[in-house]
Amino acid sequence: MALVAAEHDPSSRRRVFGVYLQHGVIGALVLVAVTVVRRAEPAGVIRALGGSAPILIGLFFLLALTLALLKFPLTDEIFVSLAMTAYIAMFPLLGMVMSAWIAVAAAAIQRTLHLLFTKGQKDRAMEWARTLALFATYGVPIVVAVRVYEAIGGAIPQLAPSIDAAWRMAVCGVLIIVINNLIVARVERAYGYSVGTTLKTAAVDTTIYLITIPYALLMTFAYGSIGWGGMLASAFTIVLANLVGQKLAQIRGDREQLIQRLTSLTNIGKTISVDISTDVLLQRVYEECRKVMDAPVFSIALHDASTNELSFDFNVVRGEVVKKERLPLGDGLNSWVITNARPLLIGSVQEERKLGIAAHDDGVPSQAWLGVPMIVRDHVIGVISVQSFEKHAFTQGDLTLMTAVANQAAAAIENAHLYNDLGALNFALEQRVAERTNELRETNLRLIAADRSKNQFLASMSHELRTPLNAIIGFSTILLNTSNELLPPRLYKFLDNIKTAGSHLLELINDILDLAKIEAGKLELQPERFELAETVAAVDRVIKGMAAERGVTIVTRIDPELTDVYLDEARVKQILLNLLSNAVKFSHANGFVQLNVGAVADADSPLACESVRIEVADSGIGIADADRRRIFDEFYQVAGRPQRGGTGLGLSLTRNFVELHRGTIDVESEQGRGSTFRIHLPRYYGSMVPLRPHAVE
């Protein structure tokens, strides 16, 4: 639902409050009347659903509540919650009465929890009126949609999937969205939103929900086809998708905040070189800090060494600049920061008492306090402090930002003081160069940390993406198996394309996840004893299908004396598949690929232990000498070489899996004459001595 982020017109409170009350009273009366008139409906629906009806009702309630709680901002005025998807999927199964009450209850619980746990001053009467209005916001659209659904021949509960049922549910789902937007639009207009803004929020809101309607239909049909287990899988998938969207929105918000903070620091840095008075400089520092921090109380105090006093040259309380004052250096939080030359972060009054630091009573009943010293040439010239009326309002990130601001402000103030002192100009310029060098060094460290975070994020997101992809592949497989005669060939081909693309993307994600684990040092082998000949035969069966399509012959030879090995079988399979698939892809039509697997005695092995030698030779296009040393790099693909699918990860993963086994891999190739990849693995993993360094030939 598109929600109003703030009251644009403060004088509109009475009008908005009246609209909320009207919606709440009318919506409540409608739901009560419907419940009385259709009081027999819930029992009939439960009987029709059978023994799993309580589970289904509970699942829908939990799904609706979860999605309502996972609401996240898309813009300052648009909030995204996929709870509407749950309501659209729910009404064909549970009917009008239960669906409407579940929708209202889930939304009301979310609003109540928001009121109970949100910090800060709130207009409680307005918030409770908004909660009451949920009867109309969610209850009335469902009542109208179910009535229309029944009028056009829809069945409740709808247990059998069909095209007719799908279009009826889709039409009524659109109706729910439209009515919901009309109700919300009336509230937005009462707040004073323009027609253009109201239409924009409604368009974005409607577009998001329309995209989810097919998934809502799939959830409804999943219960009739699979049972409550299918519903649970569908619910899990949509919750996970909502979490991914929430995470992406959070990342975007963090990125925008970071950009704003960097911009503010840049602006403060520019101020250093401007010929302005100290008062204007302090005002600009405050304005830049206000853009990135919620600081109702802000002050800049400079240390007057001649009188050993703190001069509060700039002090703002609740947006109002208060008069300057001077205090002797001694007691108080600002004095502590200057005396100790380090920042101080206090989350609450209780924490302040535990630290044993006496605060100066400035008449402001604040809770959280953050102060950082302004240091120039190892000398503290002042302190910048912010206060908040909420507990624990400031974080370590705010401390880091304020430290950077304080350093910039200190330099700016010092430059302002030195502006008329031409004799000290060269020294000031040297200080600025040194400061910029330190900033570059710190930026380089941040970039290193960002790269590490990227790898961690990549591994985490790969895990998060595999679950919905497995659901997409699974459901598309089910649809392919059950809808061959129901769908036109063109739509059936679309389903097959969905499954194929999902499988390819899942393979890519698995490869990326393996690389991320390897880079993070978290990929561990799972060695076990197995018959290598059986594993080679299994891989041979898989690859021959691909080879047959290209007219390539696979010739496999395995030493009969090579029986059991103790390795990670899954990784050995992946090594063989990667090498053989590459050999087939880059072989000429009617060419051949040879796979030779043999045992090597410890005396003849480069590993100094009993080993397994794997050779994959092809008669393909070969590899140039300049490229042979780079083909094992991630994402590297030979320039000018015909690309036949793939991402350049296969050989990199192969090399890593071989090296994890403490084996060796090399390649011999001549352009136009084919390639031979040769691998040595210990026959029994863990039985070898440390290896000498080796290079790829």
pLDDT tens per residue across span 619-667: 888 777 767 676 776 665 654 454 444 556 777 788 888 888 889 988 8
**Among all chains, which residue has been given the structure tokens 């995204």?**
80
Packing angle, helices 425-482 and 489-520, rounded to 10: 140
pLDDT at 366 over 60: yes
In this structure, what token pair is assigned to residue 1?
């639902």
Quick check: bond before 296 cis, omega within 30?
A: no
If you count DSSP H runs as helices and E runs as strands, how many of each does the chain have, helices first? 20, 16
Per DSSP, helices labelled H in 163-277 are 163-191, 195-226, 228-272
Give yes or no for a contact between 109 and 100, defined as CB atoms under 8 angstroms apart: no
**Among all chains, which residue has been given the structure tokens 């006093």?**
309
Q: How far is CA 505 from its chain centroid?
A: 18
Pick the CATH number of 273-420 from 1.10.1420.10, 3.30.450.40, 2.60.40.10, 3.10.330.20: 3.30.450.40
Percent pLDDT > 90 in the chain is 5
Secondary structure letter of residue 242 according to DSSP: H
pLDDT tens per residue across span 670-679: 877 888 899 9
Residue 643: count of CB within 10 angstroms of its CB: 10
What CATH number should be reported for the domain whose range is 450-520? 1.10.287
pLDDT tens per residue across span 589-614: 888 888 999 988 888 888 888 899 99
68-76 average pLDDT score:
64
- CATH superfamily, domain at 528-682: Histidine kinase-like ATPase, C-terminal domain (3.30.565.10)
Confidence band (pLDDT; 50, 70, 90) for 326?
confident
Q: Is 517 exposed, middle or buried (0-12, 13-18, 19+ CB in 10 A)?
A: middle
Give yes or no for a contact between 406 and 372, defined as CB atoms under 8 angstroms apart: yes
| Average model confidence (pLDDT) across the chain | 76
Lowest mean pLDDT among 215-219, 289-293, 477-481: 289-293
Q: Which residues contact 308 (CB under 8 A, 6 or more apart)?
A: 328, 329
pLDDT tens per residue across span 156-174: 888 788 888 889 888 998 8
pLDDT tens per residue across span 502-556: 766 766 676 676 666 766 666 788 899 999 889 888 888 888 877 887 888 888 9
- What is residue 318's predicted lDDT score, i.e. its pLDDT? 72
363-367 contacts at long range (C-beta below 8 A, 24 or more positions apart): 364/297, 364/317, 365/389, 366/296, 366/297, 367/391, 367/393
**Residue ranges covered by each domain of the chain:** 10-251, 273-420, 450-520, 528-682
pLDDT tens per residue across span 211-251: 778 877 777 777 766 666 666 666 666 666 666 655 655 66
54-66 average pLDDT score:
83
Instruction: Strands of 654-697 (E only): list them.
Output: 664-670, 674-682
Q: Is 672 exposed, middle or buried (0-12, 13-18, 19+ CB in 10 A)?
A: exposed
Confidence band (pLDDT; 50, 70, 90) for 313?
confident
- What is residue 422's predicted lDDT score, i.e. its pLDDT? 54
Instruction: Report the C-alpha gap between 539 and 535 in whole angstroms.
Output: 6
**Among all chains, which residue has been given the structure tokens 């590490």?**
452
Secondary structure letter of residue 475 according to DSSP: H
- What is residue 6's predicted lDDT score, i.e. its pLDDT? 37
- In terms of Cα–Cα distance, which of 364, 277, 270 is closest to 315? 364
Give yes or no for a contact between 167 and 56, defined as CB atoms under 8 angstroms apart: no
